[in-house]
Chains A and B, each alone.
Chain A
């Protein structure tokens, strides 16, 4: 999972609470991504950021928010507006300068709503 850390590994949330998932990379990558993984559905893109202080919605952004104040960090907040947040969340990064670069993934955070 080299170079990208996610914390915590497991997270439990009560309904109505906001929670923030951490993602940090030391690869000097410009672009970062958040995915949600559900069984049998592959990975779905939540948000992505190509540069500090800029980010774009992915395919399933509703109920989520992000920030990109530093190049190394791209935290994801799961808000109470997300109706079904129980899932495995993956953060990834890649170099810019060409969209042929592979993405590097963190180890993931498993979020469970109680």
Chain B
């Protein structure tokens, strides 16, 4: 079965320090992976995606993610966290059944708390 896991409910980091939000996946075939951010009482905003090519994907607001096929991971990273990065982050993978529907399977979400 296809699935996405975000093993940490919450990540705490000090402003200026690097941050990592973890995501692992289980899919058949090549994975299409996405990261979204959600601020309180708002919709999700797209950050970045991995389809093919370079394992390091750069996205919006200085975020990047590293695709690791052997570890089936797609961790979100940022070199220097800002207080304004505090939000709920979702990892998602394309659902291949049925194909070409654009359906996504979402992880449970990770709350990022950046403290001044």
- Which residues of A does B touch, CB under 8 Å? 1, 4, 6, 31, 33, 40-43, 45, 48, 50, 56, 58, 88, 90, 92, 94, 96, 98-108, 110
Contacts and interface: CB of A to CB of B under 8 A. Distances in A.
Contact of B90 (A1, A40, A42, A100): A42
Interface residues on chain B, size class: 20 to 34
Contacts of A101: 102
A99 B32 contact: yes
Interface stretch (B12-20, B44-52, B70-78): B44-52
A103 B46 contact: yes
B104 to A, nearest CB: 6
Main secondary structure of the interface of B (DSSP, over half): loop
Interface of B: 9, 32, 34, 36, 41-46, 49, 51, 90, 94, 96, 99-104, 106-109
A100 B43 contact: no
A36 to B, nearest CB: 11
B63 to A, nearest CB: 14
